[in-house]
Structure 1
């Protein structure tokens, strides 16, 4: 089976020491990326760890596809215990850092301990340097990236940076790379902030030699030549469809249609797009560099989730206002979905939907934990009571834009996901809009009978995150192509994904998560029965992995 290579580098920022560990056996079983990170985290992070404590770890890893020249491979993974969900969580980012990371020669890099001073960590193939950077305390992401480039000659494409939000332990703080790409959901930026790590950089010329099968060329060619609407409008292309289905969350989830949708939809974004945007080696180029000359706003995006959170869910119908919200989140290092939804909760409590000045002011207050921002920085699950609004979250994570009250399989996915109400954990929405061929689509109505397909989708997405292969490759990948690339039967590849999902659930079980946490704040048909079907398909008992249900590589001690 195709898999990543290279040792684990452990960087302890407390005593500024490093250690290398052979992890070839883990690579062989878990491929790379999210798989290797999850396996390492499960073994090396205490089950009872405080997310902000020195014993929590952030583990970064690429996958073997970084050795390819194929589209959809310019991404990587990081994993740790989330301060937002309080569970083991992986986050995935695009951009250009992944191949710079691979060039260090390490298969994975974990950050442990807690520093007494604000640090930049420079990871190179010839060693690690710890640089004290007290003058960058409170600096924005772009200010930090510009400093590293001007003073050290380090490109933004080589960096993982936190903004003020991470330093201030905002529970949905991002880790940013290439300035505008985010390891977003779950607040892992706050974990780096707790460790007093402002930036990590990667450089070298020691990428492992991994032979990638010839199937990569055909996939890359199709991605380059296909006329796909995502190349023009990114994910926001789906907004009109969602709105037409009465499935666009609006006014803090109180409505499902938005009258001002034309002001924030795919056409509105496309009008502001001024050049192509992509990730490393990708010819699909679905990113959205946008600019408004009149108001001087420039950013990358917004994608559909952000256009929902800071648009319809906040009562805003001007794409430039949403672009500015997106820009502020990137600058301060905030997950723009959680930031937008949390701001929307605040607007609901103040009866202030559409107040753009208040929105932008509140984003900064959250990042700096000033005034009301200190409460909102805790996230919806922890602040909704004080705001007097409903708790629109699952396992601590607020909802993505794809509406589970309309796409019932997606609703089921939100309920059982190890990561909470996150759309990318299974991307089940794609088969219910549908965004897939008719023969692969499902009726969005109802939950019963969908559990088996959901398990397959979760396993496949975990496999993609181990590879690492972008989830927007769905129109270009099929079982035969997975087999051709990874050299393994497709069912055996899905079994890798199943091991990843199982380890996440087991870790979270040990932190107290069980079937009572697999729920929704709204009713959809037969949810409890569908959840039971899901547990049966997974071999779990009331949401708990049985003692004999762990992957075989753990043995009796697990």
Structure 2
């Protein structure tokens, strides 16, 4: 089986020490990426760890596909206990940093402890150095990158950076890389900020010798030559379809259609796109570099989720105003989905939908925890009562754009996902719009009979996150191609995904999560019965992993 290689590098920023551990057996068992990081965290992070305390650990992990030159492999994983959900959470970012992490020669990088001063950690194949950076306190992401490039000849593609939002422990702060790509959902930027780490840089010439099968060339060629709408409009291409299905959240989830959709849809974004954008080694090039010269704004995106959060959900029908919001989030190091939804909650409470000037002001206030921004920085789950609005979250995480009240299997997925109301955990929406072949599609209505398929998709997405392979490769991957790329039986590969999901759930169970947390703020048909079908398919009892089902056997 194709898997990662290299030791675990542990960096304690409290006493500025480093150590290495042999984790070869875990590489074989979990491939790399999310699976490896979840297994390490399950063993090494106390179950009762404070997400913003020194005992929490942040894991950066790549997968064996980062040794390839294949499209859809310019991504990597980051894992820690989330300050937003209070559970173990993995986030996935694109860009170009993954291959620089691989070049440093480590199978995983673990950050623990808490520094007494603001630092940058430089990880190289010949060692680790610590740099005190008091002058970068509250620096934005671009300001930080400029300083690193000037003083250390480090590019944005070699970095993982937090902005002022991470330093001030905003519960949905991002870790930014390649300037505008984010380890977004769940607030991992706040975890790094709590450790007083402003940035980590990666470099070296110690890539492991991993031979990826020739199937990579076929996939790369197809990605390069295919005429796919995402190459022009990114994920926002689905917005018109969602709106037609009455499945586009609007006005803080109070409506499911937006009359101003033409101002923020795929065509509106494509009109502002000025060049191709991509991740490392990827010929699919679905990213969205956009600019508006009259407004003086240049950014990357927005993607569908952000166009919903800062657009329809905030009552804004002007793509340029959404672009401005997106740009501010990238500069301050904020998850744009959670920031937009939290701002939308404030707009709902104060009857201010569509007030773009107020929205931009609130983004800045959240990043620096100023005034009302200090409350909003806690997230919807913690502030909704004070605002007097409904709590549109699951496990503390606010909803993505794909509407579970219309796509009922996606609604079930939101409820059971260990990350909370996140669309990428199973990408179940893809089979219900549908965005897949007709023979693989399901009717959007109803929850019964979908549990087995949901389990399969969760396991498959965990496999992708361990590989690491972009989830937008779905039109180019098949069971046979997974087997060829990873040199393993497909069912064995899915079992890696299953172990990963189970370990996440077990960790969260130890923190008090159970079936009561697998809930929604709205009703779905036969929801309780569908929930039991899901637990039965997983072998869990009332949302809890039995102790004898914890998948440690064979790890050593």
The separation in 2 between residues aligned to 1:550 and 1:138, in whole angstroms, is 42
The separation in 1 between residues aligned to 2:66 and 2:418, in whole angstroms, is 27
- SS of 2:198's equivalent? strand
| Aligned position for 1:135 | 135
| Aligned position for 1:398 | 398
| Aligned position for 1:108 | 108
| Aligned position for 1:176 | 176
Q: Structure 1: any 5+ residue segments left out of the alignment?
A: none
| Aligned position for 2:42 | 42
| Aligned position for 1:159 | 159
Equivalent residues in 2 for 1:501-516 (5 A)? 501-516=501-516
| Aligned position for 2:237 | 237
- SS of 1:548's equivalent? helix
The separation in 1 between residues aligned to 2:311 and 2:140, in whole angstroms, is 24
Contact kept? 2:447, 2:530, Cα under 8 Å: yes
The separation in 1 between residues aligned to 2:66 and 2:555, in whole angstroms, is 31
| Aligned position for 2:200 | 200
The separation in 1 between residues aligned to 2:452 and 2:374, in whole angstroms, is 42
| Aligned position for 1:458 | 458
1:490 and 1:555, CA in 2 relative to 1: closer, same or farther beyond 3 A?
closer
Contact kept? 2:29, 2:555, Cα under 8 Å: no
- SS of 2:130's equivalent? strand
| Aligned position for 2:72 | 72
The separation in 2 between residues aligned to 1:510 and 1:191, in whole angstroms, is 20
Equivalent residues in 2 for 1:144-293 (5 A)? 144-293=144-293
Q: How many Å apart are 1:491 and its aligned residue?
A: 0.7
Q: How many Å apart are 1:123 and its aligned residue?
A: 0.1
| Aligned position for 1:88 | 88
- SS of 1:423's equivalent? coil
- SS of 1:327's equivalent? helix
The separation in 1 between residues aligned to 2:40 and 2:146, in whole angstroms, is 33
| Aligned position for 2:352 | 352
- SS of 1:150's equivalent? helix
Question: Cα RMSD (Å) of the superposition?
Answer: 0.8
The separation in 2 between residues aligned to 1:519 and 1:281, in whole angstroms, is 39
Equivalent residues in 2 for 1:370-409 (5 A)? 370-409=370-409
- SS of 1:553's equivalent? coil
Contact kept? 2:394, 2:414, Cα under 8 Å: yes
- SS of 1:151's equivalent? helix
The separation in 2 between residues aligned to 1:340 and 1:524, in whole angstroms, is 25
Question: What is the aligned residue count?
Answer: 556
Q: Deviations over 1:225-257 (max 9, x none)?
A: 000000000000000000000000000000000
1:104 and 1:555, CA in 2 relative to 1: closer, same or farther beyond 3 A?
closer
Q: Runs ≥4 in structure 1, deviation > 6 angstroms?
A: none
Q: How many Å apart are 1:31 and its aligned residue?
A: 0.1
The separation in 1 between residues aligned to 2:542 and 2:35, in whole angstroms, is 24
Aligned pair 1:520/2:520, yes or no? yes
Q: How many Å apart are 1:151 and its aligned residue?
A: 1.2
| Aligned position for 2:489 | 489
| Aligned position for 1:313 | 313
Q: How many Å apart are 1:553 and its aligned residue?
A: 2.8
Q: Deviations over 1:195-220 (max 9, x none)?
A: 00000000000010100001000000
TM-score (norm 2): 1.00
- SS of 1:120's equivalent? strand
The separation in 2 between residues aligned to 1:553 and 1:108, in whole angstroms, is 21
| Aligned position for 1:31 | 31
Q: How many Å apart are 1:154 and its aligned residue?
A: 0.2
Q: Deviations over 1:59-113 (max 9, x none)?
A: 0000000110000000000000000000000000000000000000001000000
Contact kept? 2:26, 2:555, Cα under 8 Å: no
Q: Deviations over 1:312-354 (max 9, x none)?
A: 0000000000000000000000000000000000000000000
| Aligned position for 1:547 | 547
- SS of 1:284's equivalent? coil
The separation in 2 between residues aligned to 1:50 and 1:548, in whole angstroms, is 27
The separation in 2 between residues aligned to 1:470 and 1:352, in whole angstroms, is 37
The separation in 1 between residues aligned to 2:194 and 2:272, in whole angstroms, is 37
| Aligned position for 2:368 | 368
The separation in 2 between residues aligned to 1:399 and 1:35, in whole angstroms, is 24
- SS of 2:146's equivalent? helix
The separation in 2 between residues aligned to 1:83 and 1:114, in whole angstroms, is 16
The separation in 1 between residues aligned to 2:127 and 2:49, in whole angstroms, is 29
- SS of 2:109's equivalent? strand
The separation in 2 between residues aligned to 1:215 and 1:550, in whole angstroms, is 34
Q: Deviations over 1:164-197 (max 9, x none)?
A: 0000000000000000000000000000000000
Aligned pair 1:419/2:419, yes or no? yes
TM-score (norm 1): 0.99
Q: Deviations over 1:485-543 (max 9, x none)?
A: 00111111000000000000000000000001000000011111000000000000000
Q: How many Å apart are 1:150 and its aligned residue?
A: 1.2
| Aligned position for 1:296 | 296
Q: How many Å apart are 1:554 and its aligned residue?
A: 7.1
Contact kept? 2:118, 2:133, Cα under 8 Å: yes
Contact kept? 2:25, 2:555, Cα under 8 Å: no
Q: How many Å apart are 1:555 and its aligned residue?
A: 8.1
